[in-house]
Amino acid sequence: MHPTTVGVDLAKSVFEVAVADAHWHLIARHRFTRRQFERFLASQPACHVVMEACGTAHYWGRVAHGHGHRVTLLPAQFVRPYVRGNKTDRTDAEALVEAVRSGRIIPVAVKTVAQQELLALHRLRAQWMSTRTARINAVRGFLREQGLDVPRGARRAVAALPALVEDADTALPGRLREGLALLYEEIRSVEARITVIEQRLATFVTTDPVAPRLLTIPGVGLLTATALIGAVGQIHGFRRGRHFANWLGLTPREHSSGPRRSLGRITKRGDVYLRCLLTHGARAALLAAHRRAAAGRPVTRLQQWALAVAARRGTNKATIALANKLARIVWAVWRFDVPFMAAPALTA
């Protein structure tokens, strides 16, 4: 019979394939190498290719698209319950066919090369930021062991290090002084690499049609806008802003039964990096609202709402609530192609 659905269990060098017909009956199973799998996609008639959303799935999704196939990427955690018996490559491929047959799993959009390039830049920057933080903490520890204190804040600590190293009156052993000089050079080198990454992201913002509109949202800056574009790609896959906030893990966890409805902490599902950026942006936006209110300047309706939540529930809960609100605003701005317009605060 004519194959209509192909479940593919991806790997580095061995690919398990399960082929099903229009009635979801398995009619063939294959085990391919990388080159054999490429030839299989090229020779197979146009069909529905189903894969788990893993590391190489987006590349193979683009390859399958190029040969005229329809591609569906399914989250791995939702495919696992469809595995029957022991976990093997064969049962994993069959589980993909069963999972897509249910029609209840929301697929992952295939990322373009540009999206993966953006995300790679963010990963590089995050790794270098971790390296910079580790080196600064090491400097603090070494100097405190010698009875020397370093100013608070990463920038102030790095700026104060040369004076401590070069001062002959500072009680530092000679070999430690040389090691701290090398650490300072490494920190400055890492900071230069981070600056290059941020310049690349800023260049992307000037050429992308969506990024300037996202930057009009309070709490959304260069990093958050470019990370959203790289991770999401097409916002039209989310029907409502709540679905987008839920995808980011910013909605409450629910444990309800019968007439009793219980909402708890946020689910923390989805991309940790995106949720972290939105949370930090919400914290900065809430701080700006506090400062405007303290200075007697007018606040926007969003700031008025955030301040009311902070007064009622505390700063931390208000930050997460504002991050949820920002995620919904991102969806609306992106979905309807309009910039964010801050409305004036409501009067009593």
Residue-wise pLDDT tens digits, 161-208? 998 888 877 778 888 999 999 999 999 999 999 999 999 999 999 999
Domain that holds residue 131: 113-207
267 burial (CB, 10 Å; 0-12 / 13-18 / 19+) is middle
- Cα 170 to chain centroid distance, Å, stands at 45
The total number of structural domains that make up the chain? 3
The CATH number of the domain where 21 resides is what? 3.30.420.140
Q: Of 303, 300, 308, 311, which is closest to residue 286 (Cα–Cα)?
A: 303
**Which of 167, 186, 207 is where one domain is finished?**
207
Give the pLDDT of residue 263: 86
DSSP state of 248: T
Predicted local distance difference test score (pLDDT) of residue 343: 86
Residues 292 and 225 grouped into a single domain: yes
- Low-confidence residues in the chain, pLDDT < 70: 1, 348
Residues 137, 97: one domain? no
Pair 73, 123 in one domain: no
Give φ, ψ of 308 to 5 degrees. Answer: -65, -40
pTM for the whole structure: 0.90
